[in-house]
Structure 1
């Protein structure tokens, strides 16, 4: 449109070599118009081709990055599955053995008193709970972004803290609770439960009695 206006009148174009016109005025300068159109069209096509090439390169780079991320994710998923199998083979074997021995001890030693039988029953129950938490951890390790069908059991909350304290006391720990809590959100309750669980474990391990 600008070329048509320029070539059809006496408009002056200011260039580095000075002011110029398309001619001396009417009639319409078809040759000049055609040259302008060819030049502008060529410049536009070159710019479009350059932009298309740049976009193609960006798409190729993005596709390569996505492929690399997919390969990395697949490798991590395979490693997590291998770790889950190893944990199951090693830890679950020994924990289940503890549970079986604790449950079978009263039958192998019928002279055990009631207190010993109660302690062995608590040991077997703790071992079964440990197996349940181990299976939960293994399910998380086996999960991928596309595998959301793996069932997960409910996570502990602040309501389970009292049971955790009771189990510690039953195991012989001197646990005193100071203060109280109520209406703790599930996420904060989960952190509270795990923190207390770790603290009691460290106390049993490093400061018995």
Structure 2
């Protein structure tokens, strides 16, 4: 039989093993810290006997306490530094190499420098001062004629990282100030744009509505043969337009960023009956009934009910001119209900100009459904229209004195 072919041995690849060790580091530990710890421990163990004398069994233990804290210096910098410093101090009486200028191995010294830098960068001022002072005193334990050099080295090392810490803090503050300035600039631009739109709306809408008020008030004096009934009708138109103008101005004032305070037209359940009275005074054939106490409703429920009544009456005046309108409002323990029922418009009554794209019904439905209520708006069998809105009752809170 031919001799069995022998498979050549694969060469060892320590670099790949080191990479796999670093990649399998504990969660949250930076890869450079793992790499530095592995290198320091791998060098400290076999070279410890060259400068110090210790029982071989205890050498890896002492080398571990002098190098492994590098793994935790990013989370517990003060504790890591303290363990390394204590390991260095333990090594001082074990020193047995007169030509060696350190009282502890070089690997311990590098670990001490790394953990001290972590303390200076992360710890509070008291701990930084304590760590720097203790490290400086520790340098006095070196059996070397150049102890002053080691002390100066610790101080310069610490000053460098203090300056680095100030630089990092300053950069964070600059970034925060830049972000704050950008946000303020964005808000200022938004406020200026909003104010410009408010001014434009005021110039257009308020001017036109003011002209309506002026024309309605002056019409009885400009026209001939105005009867008292027509005069009263003009007064009603002028009053309604003036009230609408005031509401527009107040709403625009709320939008202004520089409006710190300002009166607003009252809205809520208390204003439902004034809305109904104003509609009847304007000439609408309107009848209403209220069952229950409107005063017990909270602000949100009252506003929704008022807006539903207001929009329903507006729709009836536009689409069913001259029709009889019946409004029923019922407030019980759980629900407040508004039913607005208008018949068909009167033949020959002057039609109100249509404006396409209206969102009155959609707006009412959105308001009611936003608080968990129900809303319907359907044509009636007699040619009219019926709007029904039911809103959960939230009792108005009473302030205690």
Q: Distance in 1 between matches of 2:192 and 2:177?
A: 22
For residue 7 of structure 1, report the CA deviation from its aligned partner. 6.9
2:174 maps to what in 1? 60
1-side partners of 2:229 and 2:302: how far apart? 33
Q: 1:129 — aligned with what?
A: 243
Instruction: Kindly indicate whether structure 1 or structure 2 has the higher relative contact order, using CA contacts under 8 Å at least 6 residues apart.
Output: 1
Is 2:281 the partner of 1:167?
A: no
Structure 2 SS opposite 1:97 = helix
Aligned equivalent of 1:109, options 197, 219, 223: 223
Shift of 1:57: 1.8
CA distance in 2 between partners of 1:38 and 1:173 (Å) = 99
Report the equivalent of 1:182: 295
1:120 aligns with 2:249: no
Deviation at residue 82 of structure 1 after TM alignment: 1.6
> What's the CA shift string for 1:136-179, capped at 9, x where partnerless?
122223333xx52x532453232111111222233326464564
Q: 2:186 aligns with which of 72, 81, 91?
A: 72
Alignment partners' CA distance in 1, 2:164 and 2:285: 75
Of 77, 83, 89 in structure 1, the residue corresponding to residue 197 of structure 2 is 83
1:16 to 1:5, Cα distance in 2 relative to 1, 3 A: closer
Distance 1:201 1:44 in 2: 78
Aligned length: 197
Q: 1:197 to 1:62 in 2, by over 3 A?
A: farther
Q: Which runs of 5+ in 1 are unaligned?
A: 18-26
More strand by share: 2
Q: CA, structure 1 residues 15+187, in 2 after alignment: closer, same or farther (shift >3 Å)?
A: farther
Any conservation in 2 of the 1:80–1:142 contact (CA below 8 Å)?
yes
Contact kept in structure 1, 2:212 and 2:238, CA below 8 Å: yes
Aligned to 1:157: 268
Structure 2: how far apart are the matches of 1:61 and 1:128? 52
8 Å CA contact 1:105, 1:120 repeated in 2: yes
- Kindly report the root-mean-square deviation, in angstroms, between the aligned alpha carbons of the 2 structures: 3.6
User: For residues 9-42 of structure 1, what are the alpha-carbon distances to aligned partners after superposition, in whole Å with 9 as ceiling and x for unaligned?
Assistant: 449978879xxxxxxxxx9435386676556545
Q: Which TM-score applies when normalising by structure 2?
A: 0.41
Name whichever of 168-177 and 69-78 sits farther off: 168-177
- Counterpart position of 1:21: none
Matching of residues 7-22 of structure 1 within 5 Å? 9-10=93-94
TM-score scaled by length of structure 1: 0.72
Aligned residue runs from structure 1 range 197-208, under 5 A: 197-205=310-318
1: distance between equivalents of 2:151 and 2:305?
A: 75
Compute the displacement of 1:113 (Å).
Answer: 2.9
* Structural mapping, 1:3-42, within 5 Å: 5-6=89-90, 9-10=93-94, 28-31=141-144, 37=151, 40-42=154-156
1:73-118 per-position Cα deviation (integer Å, ceiling 9, x unaligned): 2222222222222112211111111111111222233523333222
Residues 139 and 152, structure 1, Cα contact 8 Å, conserved in 2: no
